[in-house]
């Protein structure tokens, strides 16, 4: 007869295996419990850098408890009891037996600084992942009043953290991560994005003179290749001083091969014949969408680097910095589009000829007024 299954039974075998950093934290704490004076060798390690909360609480208790006399510590567990009592309010699951387990699993107490660097490296990886995920979430937050500025601020925060990490971890050969990151840009397409691009093309066709001040918008900013090609047609006609309307753009599109896929010319003419608003407004909308899409791609790539445990801290830093660099050019163009137009220069004064002295502009002298 089969035994009934206890619904409250703990299925410990179903738990995922502990990650390597768990054993590094245990080895570090065991080394410090054996030789508390090694705390001075890892002064740059903080309690919040531990992945296990109980381990961090125990480490913080070690930091706050006065160091024992080395000779007394070998035979007296008083310091261990002090540390345990200080850590238990923050981690009630800690027991005296677990402290003995930490001591037993430590291979070499003299390797404590190395164990500490392992803990710091894993904390750096987890923190980069948090920043990258926040960057991705910011790009899709529709409640933000200024999504572009908020996204760029989050990218700056991530970049500053990477700069801080660069000073903590030494560089070494083979610094590029080999993590494969799937392309995500295609997923940014949507009806709203396509509609905004169509309105931009139609409005720019109606007001082509404004394109001279919109060099900050590039074909790569469009989600559809057809729209990018039509923007190139518009820009070329304006640059060459040619007349711009739906028919001239259609002719230019034919020369550029945009009709080769069976596009109906009537459909293209209709697309370019419904202007609304100003080209600059729709151009900024298209550029902002491109900026948010690029930032999302960058955050996704950095998150993939951080989730790959095969990457060393230096590989993570280098790969993440290169990913952020892909946002720089687009960010520069966005800043240029959002900057106010320059005020017109004041008219110059009349030119001075060499034939005679400059005209008198000062007030007459007192003698002349007498």
Residue with tokens 């030494």: 170
Give Cα 245 to chain centroid, integer Å: 41
Q: Minimal CA–CA distance to 269: which of 259, 260, 261?
A: 259
Stated pTM of the model: 0.82
pLDDT at 1: 45
Write the CA distances from 283 to 152, 198, 311, integer angstroms: 19, 11, 39
Helices (H), 167-245: 191-206, 225-239
Whether 25 contacts 119, CB under 8 Å: yes
Task: Say which residue the tokens 């909308």 belong to.
Answer: 285
Q: Which three-class secondary structure state does DSSP give residue 367? A: helix
- Torsion (CA) 348, 351, 357, 361 in degrees, nearest 10: -30
- CATH 3.30.428.10 holds for 124-177+189-338: no
Q: Domain residue spans in the chain? A: 18-107, 124-177+189-338
Choose among 243, 245, 235: nearest CA to 268: 245
CA angle (345, 347, 352) in 5-degree steps: 130
Task: Count the neighbouring beta carbons within 10 Å of the beta carbon of residue 248.
Answer: 16
How far apart, in whole angstroms, are the C-alpha atoms of residue 206 and residue 354?
Answer: 49
DSSP-assigned letters across all residues of 258-286: TTTT---HHHHHHHTT---S-HHHHHHHH
Torsion of CA 162, 168, 169, 171, to 10 degrees: 80
| Alpha-carbon span 257 to 251, nearest angstrom | 10
Q: Which residue is listed with tokens 């987890």? A: 126
Q: Are the C-beta atoms of residues 202 and 273 closer than 8 Å to each other? A: yes
Distance CA(286)–CA(276), nearest Å, equals 15
Based on DSSP, count helices (H) and strands (E) in the chain, helices before strands: 15, 0
Res 263: pLDDT: 85
User: For position 343, what pLDDT does the model report?
Assistant: 40
Task: Give CA–CA dist 148/232, Å, rounded.
Answer: 25
pLDDT value for 167 = 87
What is the rounded CA–CA span in Å between residue 135 and residue 153? 9
Q: Considering only CA atoms, which of 127, 149, 111 is closest in space to residue 30?
A: 111
Q: Which of 178, 209, 219 is nearest to 310 (CA)?
A: 178
Per-residue pLDDT of the chain in tens (370 residues, 90 and over written 9): 445 445 444 444 566 788 999 999 999 999 999 999 999 999 899 999 999 999 999 999 999 999 998 888 888 899 999 999 999 999 999 999 999 999 999 999 999 999 999 999 999 999 999 999 999 999 999 999 999 999 999 999 999 999 999 988 877 766 788 888 876 654 456 899 999 999 999 999 999 999 999 999 999 999 999 999 999 999 999 999 999 999 999 999 999 999 887 889 999 999 999 999 999 999 999 999 999 999 999 999 999 999 999 999 999 999 999 999 999 999 999 999 876 544 433 333 343 333 444 444 444 343 333 3
């Amino acid at each position: 007869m089969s035994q009934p299954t206890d619904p409250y039974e703990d299925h410990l075998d179903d738990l995922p295996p502990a990650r390597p950093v768990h054993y590094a934290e245990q080895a570090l704490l065991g080394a410090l419990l054996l030789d508390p004076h090694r705390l001075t060798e890892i002064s740059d390690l903080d309690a919040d850098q531990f992945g296990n909360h109980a381990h961090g609480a125990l480490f913080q208790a070690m930091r706050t408890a006065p160091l024992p006399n080395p000779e007394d510590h070998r035979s007296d567990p008083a310091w261990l009891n002090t540390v345990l009592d200080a850590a238990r309010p923050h981690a009630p699951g800690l027991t005296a037996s677990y402290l003995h387990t930490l001591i037993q699993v430590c291979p070499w107490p003299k390797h404590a600084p190395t164990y500490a660097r392992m803990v710091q490296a894993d904390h750096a990886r987890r923190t980069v992942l948090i920043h990258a995920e926040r960057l991705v979430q910011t790009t899709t937050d529709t409640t933000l009043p200024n999504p572009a500025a908020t996204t760029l601020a989050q990218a700056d925060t991530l970049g500053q953290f990477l700069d801080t990490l660069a000073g903590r971890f030494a560089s070494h050969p083979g610094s590029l991560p080999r993590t494969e990151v799937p392309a995500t840009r295609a997923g940014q397409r949507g009806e709203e994005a396509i509609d905004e691009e169509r309105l931009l093309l139609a409005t720019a066709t109606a007001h082509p003179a404004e394109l001279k001040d919109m060099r900050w918008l590039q074909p790569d900013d469009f989600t559809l290749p057809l729209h990018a090609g039509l923007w190139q047609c518009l820009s070329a006609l304006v640059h060459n001083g040619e007349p711009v309307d739906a028919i001239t753009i259609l002719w230019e599109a034919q020369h550029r091969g945009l009709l080769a896929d069976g596009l109906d010319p009537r459909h293209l003419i209709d697309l370019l014949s419904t202007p609304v608003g100003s080209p600059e407004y729709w151009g900024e909308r298209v550029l902002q969408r491109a900026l948010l899409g690029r930032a999302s791609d960058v955050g996704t790539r950095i998150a993939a680097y951080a989730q790959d445990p095969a990457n060393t801290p230096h590989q993570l830093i280098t790969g993440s910095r290169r990913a952020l660099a892909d946002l720089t050019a687009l960010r520069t163009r966005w800043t240029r589009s959002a900057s106010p137009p320059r005020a017109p220069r004041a008219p110059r004064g009349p030119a001075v000829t060499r034939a005679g002295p400059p005209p008198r502009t000062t007030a007459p002298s007192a003698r002349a007024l007498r």
